[in-house]
Amino acid sequence: MKRTRILVAAALAATLALAGCGQEGAPGAEGSGYEPTVAQNVEVAGSPTFAAMKQRGRVIVGVKDDQPGLGFRDATTGQFTGFDIDIARMVAGGLGFSPDQIDYKVVPSAAREDVIERGEVDYYVGTYTINDKRKQRVGFAGPYYTAGQGLLVRADDNAITGPQTLQGKKVCSVTGSTPIQRVRDQNLTEAANIVEFQTYTQCVDQLINNQVDAVTTDDAILLGYASQNPEQLKVVGEKFSSEPYGIGLPKNDTALRTKVNDLLQAAIDDGTWKTIYDGTLGKSGTQAEPPTIDRY
């Protein structure tokens, strides 16, 4: 009996010791300080989605929660922050909903089309690249930002300067994502050097621990990580693709799509877009030009 107790205690101590060597609290992104203006008496004629929002009195927005600077949930406070989140707030404000009338729903990439089709979210803002295949299932307002594939490397690494310098280097990205497919298809590095994890955070972790040499995906996502940890990480090279981010909406709700496009256009014209950018992604010291809205 006594022996078991000692064993249990030893096991507990070992577990606690193991748990203790996790990362110290990573610096979370603070709020950007952006406060949306809430429009009064908004009507969007002929939009079933908007009618449902009105009736509910709340708006449900699909977002990401693991991309610092874009869509990120602080583990301790539960607050959502980032560029995508502020764009979502701006749109909600334009539709007549204040930030405290927003319910955020975290949706993984693989489920985005399904969730929008089933109407579980009113609209989706989360590094959602517009492409023709997706347009068959959902509607896109925007683009509200144009990202491009970039490379994140360790700050002390000067060997990698762009996509042509990846030969023999281990490159990490999220399983099956477009950027890693591009690396594979263009043979930017050997097949054996391609590493795929389920989240960018895991890739960044492996990068810091020297297990991989570069993380590749849209530069916006990488800038978020770099601005979180500038001593250890940096983004290098020119963008080598174009990823226009759109706001995902139900496919046939043209009225709402037009309205959201109008709101984005207005935000670009009156400087709100720039305010949002500077308060979030701009903290990494980069400049960006607002994109041209594509009304199809």
Partner 1 sequence: MNVLLDNADVYWRAILGTVGLFVVSAIGSLILGTLIAGLRVSPVPVLRTFGSLYVTLLRNTPLTLVLFFFAFAYPRLELVEFSFFTLACIGLTLYTAAFVCEIVRSGINTVPVGQAEAARALGFTFTQTLGQIVLPQAVRAVVPPMTNIQIALLKNTTIASGFAVFQLGSVYSVLSERGYNVMIGLLWIAAIFVVLVVPLTLLQRRLDAKWGVAR
Residue 173, helix vs strand vs coil: strand
Residue 251 C-beta: closest distance to partner 1, Å: 13
Residue 116 touches partner 1, criterion: CB under 8 A: no
Residue 286 touches partner 1, criterion: CB under 8 A: no
Residue 134 touches partner 1, criterion: CB under 8 A: yes
Residue 231, helix vs strand vs coil: coil
Residue 202 touches partner 1, criterion: CB under 8 A: yes
For partner 1 (CB under 8 A), the number of binding residues is 29
Dihedral sign for Cα atoms in the order 250, 254, 259, 263: positive
Residue 54 C-beta: closest distance to partner 1, Å: 31
Kindly list the distances between the CA atom of residue 284 and the CA atoms of 67, 228, 244, 296, in Å, as whole numbers in the listed order.
14, 8, 20, 33
Token representation of residue 118: 């089933």
Distance CA 235, CA 194 (A): 19
Residue 169 touches partner 1, criterion: CB under 8 A: no
Residue 32 C-beta: closest distance to partner 1, Å: 29
CB of 157 or CB of 205, closer to partner 1: 205
Residue 92, helix vs strand vs coil: helix
Single-letter amino acid, residue 141: A
Residue 196 touches partner 1, criterion: CB under 8 A: yes
Cα-based torsion angle of the residue sequence 58, 99, 69, 218 in order, rounded to the nearest 10 degrees: 40
Among 77, 164, 175, 187, indicate the residue that binds partner 1 (CB under 8 A).
Answer: 175
Residue 41 C-beta: closest distance to partner 1, Å: 38
CB of 53 or CB of 174, closer to partner 1: 174
Among 165, 206, 232, 258, indicate the residue that binds partner 1 (CB under 8 A).
Answer: 206
Whether residue 143 is preceded by a cis peptide bond, meaning omega within 30 degrees of 0, is yes
Q: What are phi and psi of 106, to 5 degrees?
A: -80, 120
CB of 206 or CB of 241, closer to partner 1: 206
Identify which range of 78-86, 97-105, 111-119, 224-232 contacts partner 1 by CB under 8 A: 111-119
Among 4, 33, 192, 231, indicate the residue that binds partner 1 (CB under 8 A).
Answer: 192
The H-assigned helical ranges of the chain are: 2-20, 48-56, 83-94, 112-117, 132-135, 178-185, 200-208, 219-228, 254-269, 272-279
CB of 16 or CB of 45, closer to partner 1: 16
CB of 66 or CB of 205, closer to partner 1: 205
Distance CA 10, CA 219 (A): 46
Residue 243 touches partner 1, criterion: CB under 8 A: no
Token representation of residue 245: 């981010």
Identify which range of 83-91, 94-102, 199-207, 229-237 contacts partner 1 by CB under 8 A: 199-207
> Which residue in 179, 49, 70 sits closest to 119, CA to CA?
49
Distance CA 113, CA 125 (A): 12
CB of 195 or CB of 222, closer to partner 1: 195
CB of 202 or CB of 265, closer to partner 1: 202
Residue 259 touches partner 1, criterion: CB under 8 A: no
Residues near partner 1 (CB under 8 A) are 18, 109-114, 131, 133-134, 136-137, 172, 174-178, 181, 192, 195-198, 202, 205-206, 209, 211
